[in-house]
Structure 1
Amino acid sequence: MNPTQEHNERIAKMTFATVYPHYVTKVEKKNRTKEELHQVITWLTSFDEATIQKLIDEKVTFETFFQKATINPNAHLIIGLICGYRIEEIENELTKQVRCLDKLVDELAKGKKMEKILRS
């Protein structure tokens, strides 16, 4: 199943700042830390702590967020189902990147070991 064009556009326009608190809540509820969340975000995007905060403060869209990112060369190893979509089958690159981030946050919240999450 592939997301519709409307779905892709909605994701592109969504701001990282509105989703970020949900990521924090999700991982902290499962006894993981904000620092671990940032480690996962940094692994995928190459953003440091200050850049993550700046992008939140600027309320950038996911489109801008991922345009500024340098995606980890091992990101292609992120596969599986998230939000009803199989990541490796998503054709829209931005939607795929957002779903990869969602998958990493999900794995963190599920208690996976960091080295497995970071595909090392």
Structure 2
Amino acid sequence: MKSTAAHDERIAKMSFASVYPHYIAKVEKKGKTKEELIQVIEWLTGFNETKLQELIDSKATFETFFDQATLHPNATLIKGVICGYRVEEIENPLTQKVRYLDKLVDELAKGKKMDSILRKEK
């Protein structure tokens, strides 16, 4: 499935603050904690809880969010399908980063072990 320019633009302008409560609800509904979610986000972006809260308070868009992030070097090891897209094949770099985050949240909610979610070189 190929994303369109309009789809990529919509994702770029979406605020992280509007999506974050859904991430929390998704993982908590499956018995995981907000702290585990923050751990996953910190692994991917380098943002600690304080920085994450600053970005939420400022209603940062995903574009701003990932502009300020330091993506983990092993993020490219994130593979699979999320929202109908194979993350490793997404051409738009920002959309791919957002889908990386979605994929990690999904894996946490599905009960994957943290060692598996936080990819390590083999």
Per the shorter chain, which TM-score range? over 0.9
1:4 offset after TM fit, Å? 0.4
Give the aligned residue type for 1:47.
F
Could you tell me how far apart the structure 2 residues matched to 1:2 and 1:105 are? 22
Corresponding residue for residue 85 of structure 1 = 85
Aligned residues: 120
Could you tell me how far apart the structure 1 residues matched to 2:38 and 2:54 are? 13
* Partner SS for 1:2: coil
Could you tell me how far apart the structure 2 residues matched to 1:80 and 1:88 are? 7
Q: Pairwise mapping of residues 35-114 of structure 1 onto structure 2 (< 5 A)?
A: 35-114=35-114
1:2 offset after TM fit, Å? 1.5
Could you tell me how far apart the structure 2 residues matched to 1:2 and 1:53 are? 33
* Structure 2 runs not aligned, ≥5 long: none
Give the aligned residue type for 1:20.
Y
* Structure 1 runs not aligned, ≥5 long: none
Deviations 1:18-76 (A, max 9, x none): 00000000000000000000000000000011000010000000000000000000000
TM-score (normalised: structure 1): 0.99
TM-score (normalised: structure 2): 0.97
Could you tell me how far apart the structure 2 residues matched to 1:13 and 1:93 are? 14
Identity of aligned residues (%): 70
1:114 offset after TM fit, Å? 0.3
Could you tell me how far apart the structure 2 residues matched to 1:5 and 1:92 are? 9
Query: After the TM superposition, which segments of 4 or more aligned residues of structure 1 sit over 3 Å from their partners?
Result: none
Could you tell me how far apart the structure 2 residues matched to 1:112 and 1:10 are? 29
Corresponding residue for residue 32 of structure 1 = 32
**1:10 lines up with 2:20 in the alignment:** no
